[in-house]
Amino acid sequence: MTGFRFGPHFITESQVFYKSKFSIGIVNLKPIAPGHVLVVPKRNTPRLADLDKDEIVDFMLSAQKIGNVVEKHYGCTSLTMTIQDGPQAGQTVPHVHMHIIPRKQGDWANNDDIYEELDKKKKGVDNEDRKPRTEQEMSLEANELRLYFGVDNA
């Protein structure tokens, strides 16, 4: 089975919808909103400062491309793009990654409530507050998003 390491977790190819030289876009096991996806460097490293210049440029350009697709696909007008860089910042998987979360008018009463929702994930994938999606659900979403990037991308 081919795939990628995401901290201690294994991400299957079916969960990947975007690939660049140094980064991947993956669907989320426990999204806080429809379309909540992650941008992840291919190299397994815990902190943003651990990435070299080429990886950082690729990571940010990948986030921009993925964000544009998320807005189009989910019909949203804005995005929350956030990196929880280290445990005290709420990072639960020791592999730097960016959350891309589609935003619509009135989705959270107070804009900053989205960060409280992300903080509920402090237990990481072991948190039972939100039910994990099935492999099939994640694969279906990845297939839809993959179409925007071309068949050879993922």
Q: Are 14 and 135 in contact (CB under 8 A)?
A: yes
70 is in an annotated binding site: no
Give the Cα separation of 17 and 13 in Å (integer).
Answer: 8
9 is in an annotated binding site: yes
93 is in an annotated binding site: yes
Catalytic residue chosen out of the listed positions 36, 73, 95, 97? 97
What is residue 127's three-state secondary structure? Answer: coil
84 is in an annotated binding site: yes
φ, ψ at 44 (rounded to 5°) = -80, 100
Q: Is 97 a catalytic residue?
A: yes
77 is in an annotated binding site: no
Q: Residues forming the annotated binding site for substrate?
A: 9, 28, 84, 90-93, 99
Residues annotated as catalytic are 97
